[in-house]
């Protein structure tokens, strides 16, 4: 009788564990339209090296958040970064300049760190509604005084549904 109870408990524990794993996977998934990441060769981002991302919007009635993704090493010598972003919808292009603070006044990096590399998801547009369904392009270029801009390891774009 005790063995049957232990087997029944083990089966229930396995089923519960499986259920919790499924819920975790479903909750952990985000509704990203695009999550791109481009490695910068030799960590030397030049003016000519524009990072371009093409994506498709299937439901323009929903709002989206668009983020600039950046990774740099601890040897990056600035506390900020300037970028130019070209939003293209096929017919027209809108260019915006962004400045992002990457470090506090005391030099402490604001990004999440893993060893010598710091990562950021920096907002470009929040609760943005695209004018139509279809394909769009976002092109990012560095807009700092240095050419090349050293110690930038990756650049990308993240677009997900606004909550």
What is the rounded radius of gyration, in angstroms, for the C-alpha atoms of the chain?
A: 22
pLDDT in single tens digits along all 163 residues of the chain = 555 555 445 655 555 444 434 433 333 444 678 999 999 999 999 999 999 999 999 999 999 999 999 999 999 999 999 999 999 987 899 999 999 999 999 999 999 997 899 999 999 999 999 999 999 999 999 999 999 999 999 999 999 999 8
Contact 101, 115 (CB under 8 A): no
pLDDT at 26: 38
Q: How far apart are CA 160 and CA 35, in angstroms?
A: 8
Q: What is d(CA 152, CA 147) in angstroms, rounded to the nearest whole number? A: 12
pTM for the model: 0.80
Q: Is domain 32-161 given the CATH code 2.60.120 in the classification?
A: yes
- Hey, is 6 helix, strand or coil? helix
Helix (H, G, I), strand (E, B) or coil at 91: coil
Residue where the block lists tokens 């603070």:
101
Calpha distance 104→22 (Å, rounded): 40
Could you tell me how far CA 57 lies from the centroid of its own chain? 17
**Per-residue model confidence (pLDDT) at position 5:** 52
What is the per-residue pLDDT for 2? Answer: 54
pLDDT of residue 114: 78
Report the length, in residues, of the chain: 163
Domain boundaries, the chain: 1-30, 32-161
How high is the pLDDT of residue 74?
Answer: 96
């Amino acid at each position: 009788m005790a063995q049957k109870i232990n087997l029944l408990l083990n089966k229930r524990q396995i089923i519960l564990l499986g259920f919790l794993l499924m819920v975790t996977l479903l909750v952990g998934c985000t509704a990203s339209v695009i999550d791109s990441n481009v490695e910068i060769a030799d960590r030397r981002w030049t003016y000519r090296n524009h990072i371009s991302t093409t994506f498709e919007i299937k439901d323009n009635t929903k709002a989206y958040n668009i983020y600039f993704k950046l990774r740099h090493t601890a040897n990056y010598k600035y506390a900020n970064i300037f970028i130019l972003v070209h939003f293209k919808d096929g017919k027209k292009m809108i260019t915006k300049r962004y400045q992002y603070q990457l470090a506090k006044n005391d030099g402490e990096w604001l990004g999440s760190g893993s060893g010598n590399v710091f990562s950021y998801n920096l907002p470009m547009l929040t609760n943005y509604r695209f004018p139509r369904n279809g394909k769009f392009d976002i092109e990012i270029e560095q807009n700092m005084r240095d050419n090349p801009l050293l110690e930038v390891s990756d650049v990308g774009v993240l677009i997900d549904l606004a909550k």
